[in-house]
Structure 1
Amino acid sequence: MTISTAAATRLCETVRMLRHLAIQLPDPICLSFLTQGDDCLAEQSSPSVRATERAVNTALARIGVRTVQYLHGGEDQLSSFEIFISKKICEALDFSYDRFDDVETVKEFGRLVRQFDFSGAVPDVEALHLITCDNVALSVRASANRQRPAIVLALPCGMPFDLCRDWFNALSERFFVVTWETRGLFGSCTTFDQLSVDTDAQVGDLINVMNHYELPDAHLMGICGGAVIALSAAAAHSSRVSSLSLWHGDYNLGDNNLRTAHQQNFEWLMETAAVDRNEASDLQALFLDQATLASIPESIAHVALYPYANEELFYRYARLNDALNKTELQSRLEQINVPTLVVAGDADETTHIGGSRHIAGAISDSTFHIVPNGSHLEFFESIQRSKQTAFRFLESNFEPATI
């Protein structure tokens, strides 16, 4: 059997999708080729399987994965990250591992891999590294049309841009959109212990991005933990903010009745792991268990797992999120004087609708919108409904460019 062009392309696309997670795992990454079905047992080694291993290694090498070890009959030994990567690769191959036996097929696949763009670059989206005032390299994205009204998108803390790429693209239909990935968690950063990680530093990153693109003011859109950054920026830099929208925000208002069980557990986890690297290492080990995957939607696991992939990344993630969780919000809310949309879902088990209701009530010029059956996952997976809510609010506050 030879591999079809569609399957070969699908394998490359899957490796590209997994790039953030795979490159952060300690060497060697252990993988298995799995059987199709609920049991997902590992295939035994054979000449065909070994040929498939070499093909997968070729693709993984393009994203910087150096060493891969294959376990045959040892799928139980894989970490949660490794079993997830194994499943996604096996799905791309249709669970068939006899596609690379032919020499010409291997050559053709090699040509495809050399030509394929594994970077995750998006057409018409600028990607750059911006050096901030305190010498932090931020990974920044910007849409194409700078003449349109501007939106600054504050991503969930620690999450890769890919999680919100569909939102970025949708907003770019009518607006000039810029965003950045969290300081210290993306790209090279050898001086993390010298970085400021508090909320004000993350607000500073938002302002640095605005300054780079010479935006005198913009609409700020904050998602989950990014909502705390956006509202803090609106409070501290009112002249730079034309309007504000806060989506499924993760707010700590000092009242556990306004926090879901997930928020309370996450707060404890971040606070404990932020103490030092030893604490972070002990807690990160818990995420190696394959049972972890049961609580993470598969559709976003390739990005949601990213900050848990290794001990150092998890420690940094905890430091940054712990700072957001400890941000005193009430005094900041009283300083916000721009039109504000606060959105929450009535089926969201990740962040509490009561926290969003309180935030909306504390901002003088605010609108509180409840998404029926809305949740975190629905926000990221099915943007059409929420996109219309966003556009209606934005159009009521400034005239967007004509499509």
Structure 2
Amino acid sequence: MSHFTDAATRLCEAVRMLRHLATNLPEPIRIGFLGAGDDQRIIAGPGVAATQKAVSLAFERLGVRHLEYSHDAITRLSSFELFISRKISAALGFNYESFGVVEPDQAQQALIQDFDFSPPLPGIARSSLITRDGVLLNTYASADRQLPPIVLALPCGLPFELCRAWFQALGERYFVMAWETRGLFGACIDFDRLEVDADAQVADLFAVMDHFGHDSAHLMGICGGAAIALCAAASDSERVRSLSLWHGDYNLADDSLRTAHQRNFEWLMEAAAADRNEAGDLQMLFVDQATLVTTPEPIAHVALFPYTNAELFYRYSKLNDALNKTDLNALLKRIGVPVLVVAGDSDQTTHIGGSRHIAQVIDGAQLHVEENGSHLAFFEHAPSSRATAFRFMDRVVESEPALI
């Protein structure tokens, strides 16, 4: 691979990684090429025009057709545009002379045109289903359907990609199923007719099990997905074989068991769920570049997804507000399956006290506190976290009859 085609490949890989943001932002999207310093402005060289054409061509492959280049006005970019600009600039090695002078050469153009911006995921089958109330869900399944089944309940409203590494790791030992939250992914013309409460999300979980032919399965819930998994186990114990809850966001009617982040998030979701105008006003807060200061960079390309436009933010808020208003205390005594509750001693996102409470109230539940554990550490899939999940699951599977 030549230096020039290598630059085109790195550009395409960066654009593919940014697809959840770019395809949901209002156009035109402004992009500024940056220097290697902290958001340093570049000194334009003769190759910048050709580099712009290469970047535009790559984004066109996503369906994003209107870009504006603002190399001299970096401070005017939105938080989303600044993040995209940083990632594109870094992918190019802060070198804007790799695509010729006038336009990318033929090999570079051909590479961008032929690049797969939505490739098959190794060991993961993507499909979709229509729920009983007519909602299209994107679903994911690992390769070996003969392994014990487990459903991965993702954080509410965030893309599957956030947990892909965990999904693939679990797929080495289990048949893993997951789905993306109703109303936020794929076609959904009439969101206002959708059910958005916790019961609807629980029904989606069971619909995924039905879709892949499993009457029962183990459940693993992450952040807001932990609340969905809890509700599922309480609603139909016959279908749930075990429950592992990771860094859960729980409404336990006690603010001392919630971090400042959880309290702020609860207020934000309730306010934005009130109506679209309010959601639109609040969504503008996330346009400010300061948003990037509080968003972990390694996961920002997916964590920022539900904030990219007013309609998406409104839908995200409706679904999360309903989860936040679900009183989990009333459900805990109804959980009768093996339970693992995992929290991190360094987690500033969800409170360790909420996890302790869950583990204390559910009979026989096991609490595991991860040293230096946090949301970000979980999503970076530390080997020690995977080992904890496997130990619990293996012990449960060994103690029960083979699953059908």
Cα distance in 1, alignment partners of residues 12 and 229 from structure 2 = 36
Q: Which amino acid aligns with 1:97?
A: Y
Structure 1 residue 102 displacement after superposition: 6.1
Check whether the contact 2:47–2:102 (CA below 8 A) recurs between aligned residues: no
Matched residue, 2:197: 198
Cα distance in 2, alignment partners of residues 103 and 280 from structure 1 = 43
TM-score relative to the length of structure 2? 0.96
Structure 1 residue 105 displacement after superposition: 5.4
Find the residue that maps to 1:130 and give its secondary structure: strand
Matched residue, 1:21: 21
- In the superposition, relative to structure 1, how do residues 84 and 346 fare at CA in structure 2: closer, same or farther (>3 Å)? same
Cα distance in 2, alignment partners of residues 39 and 21 from structure 1 = 20
Structure 1 residue 42 displacement after superposition: 4.6
Q: Which amino acid aligns with 1:123?
A: P
TM-score relative to the length of structure 1? 0.96
For residues 42-79 of structure 1, give each alpha carbon's deviation from its aligned partner in whole angstroms, at most 9, with x where no partner exists.
544x5421111110111111111121011130111100
Q: Which amino acid aligns with 2:25?
A: L
Q: Which amino acid aligns with 1:168?
A: F
**Equivalence map 1:269-288=2 (5 Å):** 269-288=268-287
Find the residue that maps to 1:229 and give its secondary structure: helix
Cα distance in 2, alignment partners of residues 205 and 40 from structure 1 = 46
Cα distance in 2, alignment partners of residues 37 and 232 from structure 1 = 48
Matched residue, 1:30: 30
Q: Which amino acid aligns with 2:11?
A: L
Matched residue, 1:66: 65
Structure 1 residue 333 displacement after superposition: 1.1
Check whether the contact 2:345–2:369 (CA below 8 A) recurs between aligned residues: yes
Matched residue, 2:41: 41
- In the superposition, relative to structure 1, how do residues 239 and 43 fare at CA in structure 2: closer, same or farther (>3 Å)? farther
Cα distance in 2, alignment partners of residues 119 and 55 from structure 1 = 19
Find the residue that maps to 2:342 and give its secondary structure: strand
- In the superposition, relative to structure 1, how do residues 219 and 11 fare at CA in structure 2: closer, same or farther (>3 Å)? same
Check whether the contact 2:41–2:72 (CA below 8 A) recurs between aligned residues: yes
Structure 1 residue 124 displacement after superposition: 2.4
Q: Is 1:93 the equivalent of 2:97?
A: no
Structure 1 residue 382 displacement after superposition: 3.5
Structure 1 portions without partners, runs of 5+: none
Structure 2 portions without partners, runs of 5+: none
Mean Cα deviation higher: 195-204 or 60-69: 60-69
Check whether the contact 1:34–1:43 (CA below 8 A) recurs between aligned residues: no
Matched residue, 1:293: 292
Cα distance in 2, alignment partners of residues 60 and 193 from structure 1 = 31
For residues 253-276 of structure 1, give each alpha carbon's deviation from its aligned partner in whole angstroms, at most 9, with x where no partner exists.
111100000000000000000000
Cα distance in 2, alignment partners of residues 24 and 200 from structure 1 = 28
Cα distance in 2, alignment partners of residues 172 and 39 from structure 1 = 40
Mean Cα deviation higher: 197-206 or 324-333: 324-333
- In the superposition, relative to structure 1, how do residues 395 and 271 fare at CA in structure 2: closer, same or farther (>3 Å)? same
Find the residue that maps to 1:24 and give its secondary structure: coil
Structure 1 residue 120 displacement after superposition: 4.6
Structure 1 residue 187 displacement after superposition: 1.1
Find the residue that maps to 2:47 and give its secondary structure: helix
Considering only aligned residues, what root-mean-square deviation do their CA atoms show, in Å? 1.5
Find the residue that maps to 2:341 and give its secondary structure: strand
Find the residue that maps to 2:376 and give its secondary structure: helix
Cα distance in 2, alignment partners of residues 120 and 395 from structure 1 = 32
Find the residue that maps to 1:373 and give its secondary structure: coil
Cα distance in 2, alignment partners of residues 165 and 63 from structure 1 = 21
For residues 1-28 of structure 1, give each alpha carbon's deviation from its aligned partner in whole angstroms, at most 9, with x where no partner exists.
x843333221111111000111000010
Matched residue, 1:321: 320
Matched residue, 1:128: 127
Q: Is 1:6 the equivalent of 2:6?
A: yes
Matched residue, 2:207: 208
**Equivalence map 1:53-202=2 (5 Å):** 53-101=52-100, 106-202=105-201
Structure 1 residue 237 displacement after superposition: 1.2
Q: Which amino acid aligns with 1:361?
A: Q
Check whether the contact 1:197–1:323 (CA below 8 A) recurs between aligned residues: yes
Q: Which amino acid aligns with 1:330?
A: N
Cα distance in 2, alignment partners of residues 70 and 348 from structure 1 = 38
* Alignment: residue pair count: 399
Cα distance in 1, alignment partners of residues 244 and 209 from structure 2 = 17
Identity within the alignment, %:
61
Check whether the contact 1:55–1:106 (CA below 8 A) recurs between aligned residues: no
Cα distance in 2, alignment partners of residues 352 and 105 from structure 1 = 51
Q: Which amino acid aligns with 1:8?
A: A
Mean Cα deviation higher: 31-40 or 215-224: 31-40
Cα distance in 1, alignment partners of residues 383 and 199 from structure 2 = 32
Find the residue that maps to 1:30 and give its secondary structure: strand
Find the residue that maps to 1:398 and give its secondary structure: helix
Cα distance in 2, alignment partners of residues 104 and 314 from structure 1 = 38
Matched residue, 2:362: 363
Matched residue, 1:232: 231
Mean Cα deviation higher: 119-128 or 157-166: 119-128
Structure 1 residue 121 displacement after superposition: 2.9
